[in-house]
Amino acid sequence: MRPPLLDPLFAPVTSLPRIGPKIAQLLARVLPRRADGSEPHVASLLFLLPRRVIDRRNRATLATVTDGAEATLALHIDSHQFAPDHNKRVPHRIIATDETGGDIALTFFNAQRPWLEKAYPVGADVTVFGTVESWNYRWSMVHPEKLSGSTEDGTLALVEPVYPSVEGLSRKVMREAVRAAVDRIPVLPEWLDRSVMDAHGLPQFAQALAAVHAPTAPDDIEPASTQRKRLALDDFLAAQLALALTRRHSLRLSGSAMPGDGSLTEGIRRALPYRLTGAQARSIAEIGADMASGERMVRLLQGDVGAGKTVVALFAMAQAAEAGFQSALMAPTELLARQHFAGLSRISERTGLRLALLTGRMKPAERRQVAADLASGAVHGVIGTHALFQEDVIFARLGLVVVDEQHRFGVHQRLALASKGAAADLLVMTATPIPRTLVLAAYGDMDSSRLDEKPVGRKPIQTVAMPLERLDELASRLETAMRDGARVYWVCPLVEDSEALEGVMSVDNRFGWARKRFGNAAVLIHGRMDTAEKDAAMAAFRDGPKRLLIATTVIEVGVDVPDATIIVIENAERFGLAQLHQLRGRVGRGAKPSSCVLLYSGPLGETARARLDILRQTEDGFRIAEEDLRLRGEGDLLGTRQSGEAQFRLADLSAHRDMLDIARDDARLILARDPDLSSERGQALRLLLHLFGKDEAVRLLKAG
């Protein structure tokens, strides 16, 4: 299906010179995972941008260097201090001076003496590059790179790109592999509009890649460079075309008109113990109009923390039932599915809306009964995990699919659903507020509703940052609060201790500390526990005698304990803004004042301090999302860095927003003029889609 012109770029990396199976395995740890588990292809190397460059052009002197800085130094070799033959741990040191009269020790471990004497002969002038450090009141440079000397010419580039790497994969091998990949780029037709290229001074695709991978100055890899802008526009255009094709195909599928008669939705409105917010009422109306229209609904529902998106979904499920259709709400975890079912069924049972729960860990007899009820139409809706869409689950008349936590259900899954022809109305929900730019970039195939109001009566959450040194003071305050009836979350980033993350508290260790400090008031929950253990722990915390829940981020989404009024987030400096905001949203869900303690281990870096400051300043999830995008990038907001699937390989959303707007407008115009991409430019754009892994979108073109 892929055009033969692209075959050189989709060949395995072992087809490149000097890349054998062992190097390919190392590259696979650096490059994005392929869905079929096969080794990376050549194009993956092309799309691996340098993280930084080593700039050896700027010369320094020993009078001007700073500790820990990289520097290029012109030196005169004065003497050698040879390591004793019997002690390999003692390094070989070469003492050198520069024009300022300062001296430095060039330090080598396990190096061969004859090679060192030849490369750095006494009396020679050499130029070296490396990291300068202060050691024993003298400058030192460990294993410097030699740029030139009296005995041989250096072969290092003055400006060298540096790529992500792993142990065993040298910079040289990585650089040569990328260079070989660049040489494989075929002559490609131009898919960008010439007027856009001229207006922004953009080079051709192959030229842009070559310039980024062979920089002549640090600015060449910066997002503001013309080559990076060109590559960002290509990345965005492929994504926007794929989204537009997905939306067009989804809307072509014949939807079902589900107008409803109000018999169930009005009952739910009366059964609610609170009044809907304006944002909830607006979103319910938007979704209801989509469902009644007869055209297929494809809508994103964004809710700030605690804004009540699940209740909005319940109204949609009730409207589907009024029209004689069934609905399915899919949650990312069993814990969340069970909690949704417990909360929604309490309301639905009073109105005649019959809901069922279906998860992969139910007893076979229970599962069979739910499946039978779905097939017969005895239940109106079902709540569960991805088990809902296994082949043995058959619906009598499915009209609405609600997917909770949209970031776990990405563009590729939506493309796959569209290509299967699933024609049920689709409502996808996220409790992570998403910046406008990211909505356009990742969800351009969807209409969007936004819950940006908190329910009436919710109190502001007081947020404070506290150093770990004040742990005893914090514990005393928590003892007093729990004696007065408070329930407290305490979140840790790890389940077990990790040597790689020194100073980061594990949930196991913190639970041991809590048992000693607070006795039987503490209970533990983390993702490695089985469902029954987690359910029992949550029940003991929500309704029972346990007042302190020591947890990992398993409680980040959906956990609802109105009596919980305090949350402590340990090692808060290691979390992103959006995740901190999500965790903070576990409190402040009742009428009582609530607090969030950001417990940090200093000293704080600039970005970590900025995160904690923003969180103390505002509870507006949409403002926080914009700041998180600026500080961390889109991969973290969407959860894609954790899953290994980056949303964009060549574009930076915070730096290339203007390119996104151009790509979005261009994609719409292209499909309006050339809906089948059959023109000369259309054929070139098909190459673009394949090149950026949007094969499903091309299949949609063929499906019509």
305 has pLDDT over 80: no
- Domains of the chain with bracketed CATH: 4-53+163-222 (no CATH), 57-156 (2.40.50.140), 277-451 (3.40.50.300), 461-618 (3.40.50.300)
Per-residue model confidence (pLDDT) at position 696: 85
Per-residue model confidence (pLDDT) at position 501: 56
pLDDT tens-digit series, residues 101-123: 999 999 998 888 889 999 999 99
pLDDT tens-digit series, residues 161-186: 999 888 889 888 999 999 999 999 99
CB under 8 A, 24+ apart: contacts of 154-159? 154/127, 156/56, 156/129, 157/56, 158/55, 158/56, 158/57, 159/53, 159/54, 159/55, 159/56, 159/57, 159/215, 159/216, 159/217, 159/218, 159/220
pLDDT tens-digit series, residues 5-55: 999 999 999 999 999 999 999 999 888 877 666 789 999 999 999 999 988
Per-residue model confidence (pLDDT) at position 638: 45
Per-residue model confidence (pLDDT) at position 361: 82
User: What is the percent of the chain where pLDDT is above 90?
Assistant: 52
Using the structure block, give the residue that is written with the tokens 């996808």. Answer: 428
Nearest Cα neighbor of 184 from 7, 4, 33, 1 is 7
In whole angstroms, what is the distance from residue 262 CA to residue 315 CA?
10
pLDDT tens-digit series, residues 344-372: 999 998 999 999 999 888 888 999 999 99
53 Cβ neighbours under 8 A, 6+ residues apart:
159, 160, 161, 162, 215, 217, 218, 220, 221
Question: What band does 610 get if pLDDT is binned at 50, 70 and 90?
Answer: confident
389 Cβ neighbours under 8 A, 6+ residues apart:
328, 330
Cα dihedral across residues 190, 193, 195, 198: positive or negative: negative
Question: What band does 565 get if pLDDT is binned at 50, 70 and 90?
Answer: very high
- Least confident range from 279-283, 389-393, 418-422, 443-447: namely 418-422
- pTM value > 0.85: no
Paired tokens of 434: 């998403």
378 has pLDDT over 90: yes
Question: What band does 570 get if pLDDT is binned at 50, 70 and 90?
Answer: very high
Per-residue model confidence (pLDDT) at position 287: 97
Can you name the residues that pair with 329 across neighbouring β-strands? 383, 402
Average pLDDT, the chain: 86
Per-residue model confidence (pLDDT) at position 49: 94
Give mean pLDDT, residues 467-485. Answer: 94
In whole angstroms, what is the distance from residue 114 CA to residue 120 CA?
10
Top pLDDT among 152 and 282 is at 282
Nearest Cα neighbor of 143 from 122, 103, 115 is 115
In whole angstroms, what is the distance from residue 400 CA to residue 431 CA?
20
Amino acid making up residue 10: F
575 has pLDDT over 80: yes
DSSP state of 502: T
pLDDT tens-digit series, residues 128-160: 999 999 988 889 999 998 885 433 344 567 888
Per-residue model confidence (pLDDT) at position 152: 39
Per-residue model confidence (pLDDT) at position 644: 32
Question: What band does 557 get if pLDDT is binned at 50, 70 and 90?
Answer: low
Nearest Cα neighbor of 511 from 519, 503, 500 is 519
Question: What band does 637 get if pLDDT is binned at 50, 70 and 90?
Answer: very low
User: What is the percent of the chain where pLDDT is above 70?
Assistant: 91
Paired tokens of 365: 């007899």
Give mean pLDDT, residues 652-668. Answer: 90
pLDDT tens-digit series, residues 43-95: 999 999 999 998 888 789 999 999 988 899 999 999 999 888 777 778 999 99
Strand 326-330 relative to strand 145-148, pairing? unpaired
